[in-house]
Amino acid sequence: MTAPRRPADSLVTVSVRDTDWEGVRLHVVTGKGGTGKTTVAAALALALASNGRPVLLMEVEGRQGIAQLFDVPPLPYEERRVAVAPADDGRPGGDVFALAVDPQSALIEYLEMFYNLRSAGRALTRLGVLDFATTIAPGLADVLLTGKAAEAVRRRADGRPVYGAVVMDAPPTGRISRFLNVSAEISGLARAGPIRGHAETVRSVIRSPQTAVHFVTLLEEMPVQETIDGITELREVSGGGIQAGGIFVNMVRAGWSPGAMPVLDGPERDAQALAVALKAAGLGEDPELAADLAAELHDEARTRRAQQEQRRRLEAAGQPCYELPLIPDEIDLAALYKLAEAMREQGAA
Ligand SMILES: Nc1ncnc2c1ncn2[C@@H]1O[C@H](COP(=O)(O)OP(=O)(O)O)[C@@H](O)[C@H]1O
Ligand SMILES: [Mg+2]
């Protein structure tokens, strides 16, 4: 379905796709709130599942955004199939599973895994001890959430990974560096024992080439600035240890390509020219309409120029940029497929 991106691909073999994130298995999606983080994470999960392997899409903020998006009942702490990716190159698409992770359930599961303590975990929850634990050990909640992602990435069955990839709808840009870097604090807190071992494992997965942190933005000043700051902060906080991924420029309106921008003379002269053109086209003499049209043209041109400037700033950040179209209607599965296809065409998955 998707054409090979580079001509050289077709010389090798048609079925081998060249994507920008070869080898990445944990895709962390962040961005300024409201820019489309959840939508982009879901579309990315579908795009990755088109490679034929199952993908896990997880959310960590207790918003049930994924359930809403896929129009299914609220997700329990259990992996549920929510969609199937479109076929690609004649190969059937993989399943997309979804999971809503919360720190308490993750801790209970963790206690069971390491101590066979499920019932103890339940009792602790009832007594409110877990809230207490996550309060006195800030960062414990984060490591439990990232820990679940690391576990899903590492999980194997029949000698191979259960999931081809894991996509995390992560906290917003302002919190992402601390969220991902927390295992360092936990390691310092728990000097020995399984929690420390667990934290070290999580840390090594997040700081490996298997993990990339993608940013979602709009072509507007504020979210672009947050993206640039977020990338810088990620590098600084992690000492370059956490890989920044791609920039997903969301809700891009179709329109003039930069090269096809009309040459404008100024609202008055353009209004005159438009009036002449309208008359020539048999649309009558209507100087007011011509003036309105000219004003709109100039407005649009101003917006486009501002967007071009934001594009340039994003490109200067040095990460691959992908543009996703503005979907005019409600985002349903068909819309997610469309966004997933745009991602694949541009080499994001
Ligand atoms: N490409 C798009 N085109 C049109 N609407 C979009 C697009 N991406 C997201 N939206 C809409 O924008 C709103 C915010 O998206 P959402 O994914 O919930 O953002 P976030 O998770 O960052 O808060 C939702 O109403 C969603 O349907
Ligand atoms: Mg969201």
Query: What pLDDT does residue 257 have?
Result: 65
Show the DSSP H helices in the chain as ranges.
7-12, 37-49, 65-70, 103-115, 118-126, 129-136, 140-154, 173-181, 183-189, 194-206, 221-238, 267-280, 287-316, 333-345
pLDDT band at 138 (very low <50, low <70, confident <90, very high): low
Task: Provide the residue type at 64 as one letter.
Answer: Q
Query: For a pLDDT cut of 70, what percent of the chain falls above it?
Result: 83
Cα–ligand 1 centroid distance for 349 (angstroms) = 20
- Starting from the CA of residue 42, give the closest ligand: 1
Pocket lining: 194 vs ligand 1, CB cutoff 6 Å: no
Mean pLDDT of 326-341: 97
169's CB contacts (< 8 A; 6+ apart) are 29, 37, 38, 41, 42, 57, 58, 59, 60, 61, 65, 66
Q: Of the ranges 104-108, 225-229, 310-314, which one carries the lowest mean pLDDT score? A: 104-108
Query: What pLDDT does residue 6 have?
Result: 47
Angle in degrees, CA 236, 241, 244, rounded to 5: 75
- The average confidence (pLDDT) of the chain is 87
Q: Which of 132, 99, 127, 106 lies closest to 195 in space, CA to CA?
A: 106
Closest ligand 1 atom to the C-alpha of 39?
17
Q: Could you report the per-residue pLDDT of 142-184, keeping only the tens digit for each?
A: 888 999 999 999 999 999 999 999 999 999 999 999 999 866 5
Pick the CATH number of 22-253+326-345 from 3.40.50.150, 3.30.300.10, 3.40.50.300, 3.10.180.10: 3.40.50.300
Largest CA distance in the chain: 84
Dihedral sign computed on CA atoms, order 323, 326, 327, 332: positive
Q: Which of 210, 216, 249 lies closest to 231 in space, CA to CA?
A: 216
* 32, 38, 39: residue to mutate for ligand 1 pocket, most atoms within 8 A of CB: 39
Pocket lining: 217 vs ligand 1, CB cutoff 6 Å: no
pLDDT band at 7 (very low <50, low <70, confident <90, very high): very low
Contacts 24+ apart (CB under 8 A), 188-192: 189/137, 189/139
174's CB contacts (< 8 A; 6+ apart) are 226, 230
Q: Which of 249, 231, 245 lies closest to 312 in space, CA to CA?
A: 249
- Starting from the CA of residue 100, give the closest ligand: 2
CB 46 within 8 A of CB 164: no
CA distance linking residue 300 with residue 308, whole number of Å: 12
Pocket lining: 326 vs ligand 1, CB cutoff 6 Å: yes
pLDDT band at 12 (very low <50, low <70, confident <90, very high): very low
DSSP letter, residue 159: T
CB 341 within 8 A of CB 2: yes
CA distance linking residue 32 with residue 51, whole number of Å: 29
Pocket lining: 31 vs ligand 1, CB cutoff 6 Å: yes
Closest ligand 1 atom to the C-alpha of 65?
18
Cα–ligand 1 centroid distance for 90 (angstroms) = 30
Cα–ligand 1 centroid distance for 219 (angstroms) = 14
Pocket lining: 253 vs ligand 1, CB cutoff 6 Å: no
Nearest protein Cα to ligand 1, atom 19: 36
Cα–ligand 2 centroid distance for 65 (angstroms) = 6
Query: What pLDDT does residue 198 have?
Result: 79
Q: Which of 38, 46, 36 lies closest to 64 in space, CA to CA?
A: 38
Judge whether residue 232 has pLDDT over 50.
yes
21's CB contacts (< 8 A; 6+ apart) are 27, 212, 245, 246, 348, 349
CB 173 within 8 A of CB 230: yes
Mean pLDDT of 313-318: 97
Pocket lining: 324 vs ligand 1, CB cutoff 6 Å: yes
Judge whether residue 348 has pLDDT over 50.
yes
Q: Could you report the per-residue pLDDT of 79-92, keeping only the tens digit for each?
A: 999 999 988 878 89
Choice between 39 and 273, residue whose per-residue pLDDT is larger? 39
Query: For a pLDDT cut of 90, what percent of the chain falls above it?
Result: 61
Query: What pLDDT does residue 58 have?
Result: 98
Query: What pLDDT does residue 127 have?
Result: 66
Radius of gyration of the chain (CA): 24
Pocket lining: 32 vs ligand 1, CB cutoff 6 Å: no
Cα–ligand 2 centroid distance for 60 (angstroms) = 10
In the chain, what are the domain boundaries? 22-253+326-345, 259-317
Pocket lining: 250 vs ligand 1, CB cutoff 6 Å: yes
**E strand or H helix at 58:** strand 55-59
Judge whether residue 324 has pLDDT over 80.
yes
CB 45 within 8 A of CB 167: yes
- Starting from the CA of residue 331, give the closest ligand: 1
Pocket lining: 327 vs ligand 1, CB cutoff 6 Å: yes
